[in-house]
Chain A
Amino acid sequence: SQQGEEDPQALSIQEGENATMNCSYKTSINNLQWYRQNSGRGLVHLILIRSNEREKHSGRLRVTLDTSKKSSSLLITASRAADTASYFCATDGRGGSNYKLTFGKGTLLTVNP
């Protein structure tokens, strides 16, 4: 399976609820990033967490990283209909190819008003 696999593949919640998405990866990383994509077009960077960090916050977003389990989670609190999008995690590789991001297939989040 791919580096950077998200689960669930799809998540449907009501506005105001929290949404949690998970990402697993296979090889050692320098950084892990989360991106958001609306309507199958350009991605927007949400947050970057380094391999020596365990948790990071940005507004309503909370990202955790567990390098021992090779997993990360993205929590969106107090979700809004506008949060409806696909969310991808992306990992880079250690060493000379750390510019090359590997994306998972994404989690499609639907927030119902």
Chain B
Amino acid sequence: GAGVSQSPSNKVTEKGKDVELRCDPISGHTALYWYRQRLGQGLEFLIYFQGNSAPDKSGLPSDRFSAERTGESVSTLTIQRTQQEDSAVYLCASSLRLANGYEQYFGPGTRLTVT
């Protein structure tokens, strides 16, 4: 079946503009995650959605960042008034919510460049 897909694959935007990144998780995966990866770094957790529960937004770096998810489907990460330090690859992942231990399936990421 299809894996996690993300769009766009690359986005170049001017400082101060808003951007919207999209993630389509694997069908049936109740959990969805957004991460940010700066060049040469590990992944930073941004936000987690699980079914209809309130999302864990503890990783969002500022109030310019927000994310939504409709049910157990598509998620959108929005960055308002982009800054140069927002340049990074934004990765989405989904997983089944198992009792103990699960693997996350990652999309190919969106490379965001803020000029």
Nearest-neighbour CB distance to chain A for B22, whole angstroms, equals: 15
Does B109 contact A41, Cβ atoms closer than 8 Å?
yes
Does A50 contact B100, Cβ atoms closer than 8 Å?
yes
Does A40 contact B48, Cβ atoms closer than 8 Å?
no
Size category of the binding interface on chain A = 20 to 34
Known: A2-B42, A99-B33. 16 other contacts (CB 8 A): A4-B42, A30-B100, A35-B106, A40-B109, A42-B4, A43-B91, A44-B106, A45-B104, A45-B105, A97-B56, A99-B56, A100-B45, A100-B56, A101-B43, A103-B43, A106-B42
Name A residues whose Cβ lies closer than 8 Å to a Cβ of B. Answer: 2, 4, 30-31, 33, 35, 40-45, 48, 50, 88, 90, 97, 99-106
Given the known interface contacts A48-B103, A99-B50, A100-B56, the answer about A42 and B42 at a Cβ–Cβ threshold of 8 Å is no
Of chain B, the residue at the smallest CB distance from A4 is B42
Q: List, sorted by A's number, 21 A–B pairs whose CB atoms are closer than 8 Å.
A: A4-B42, A30-B100, A31-B100, A40-B109, A41-B89, A41-B108, A41-B109, A42-B109, A43-B43, A43-B104, A44-B106, A45-B104, A50-B101, A88-B42, A90-B43, A99-B97, A101-B33, A102-B45, A103-B35, A103-B42, A105-B41
User: CB-CB < 8 A to B100: which residues of A?
Assistant: 30-31, 50
B21 part of interface (Cβ distance < 8 Å): no
User: CB-CB < 8 A to B37: which residues of A?
Assistant: 40
Does B91 contact A42, Cβ atoms closer than 8 Å?
yes
A40 to B108, CA, bound (A): 9
B25 part of interface (Cβ distance < 8 Å): no
Does A42 contact B108, Cβ atoms closer than 8 Å?
yes
